[in-house]
Amino acid sequence: MRSFVYLFAAIIVIASLAPSHTDAQNSRYSTWSDPSGQASGGEDLKTFLEKLNKLIDEAEKAKAADPVFLQDLRNLANGAKSPWNTVVLDDAFADGNFTANPAWEVLSGAYFIETGWGLRNKLIQSQPQQSSDSGGDDLAKVLLGTILKRATGQQGASQPASNVIVTRTKLTNAFQIQLELSSWEPGGNFTVGVFQGQDANIGYRLLYTSGKGVQIHRVGNSGSSVVATSEPLTFEDKKPHTITWNRGTDGAMRISVDGKEMISTSDRGFSDPFDGVRLSNTSGDFIVKKITAKGI
Measured CA distances, 103 to 161, 197, 278 (Å): 23, 17, 12
CA distance 85 to 15: 28
What is the structure's pLDDT at 79? 53
Closest CA to 7 of 67, 57, 78: 78
Locate the domains of the chain by residue range. 2-78, 83-296
What is the structure's pLDDT at 168? 98
Write out pLDDT tens, residues 222-231. 999 999 999 9
Quickly state the pLDDT bin for 206 (edges 50, 70, 90): very high
CA distance 86 to 230: 28
Q: Is it the case that residue 136 has pLDDT exceeding 50?
A: no
Share of the chain above pLDDT 70, in %: 67
What is the structure's pLDDT at 224? 95
Beta-carbon contacts of 196 under 8 Å, excluding residues fewer than 6 positions away, are 202, 203, 270, 272, 273, 274, 275
Average pLDDT over the chain, rounded to an integer? 79
Query: Amino acid letter at 265?
Result: T
CATH class of the region 83-296: mainly beta
DSSP string, 37-64: SPPGGG--HHHHHHHHHHHHHHHHHHT-
Specify the higher pLDDT residue, 55 or 284. 284
Torsion, Cα 120 225 260 180, to 10 degrees, reads: -10
3-state secondary structure 125-183: CCCCCCCCHHHHHHHHHHHHHHHHHHHCCCCCCCCCCCEEEEEEEEECCCEEEEEEEEE
DSSP string, 23-42: TGGG-SPPPP--TTSPPGGG
Q: Is it the case that residue 218 has pLDDT exceeding 60?
A: yes
Write out pLDDT tens, residues 6-64. 444 555 444 444 444 444 455 444 444 444 444 444 446 556 766 777 787 778 777 77
What is the structure's pLDDT at 66? 79
Helix (H) or strand (E) holding 179: strand 175-183
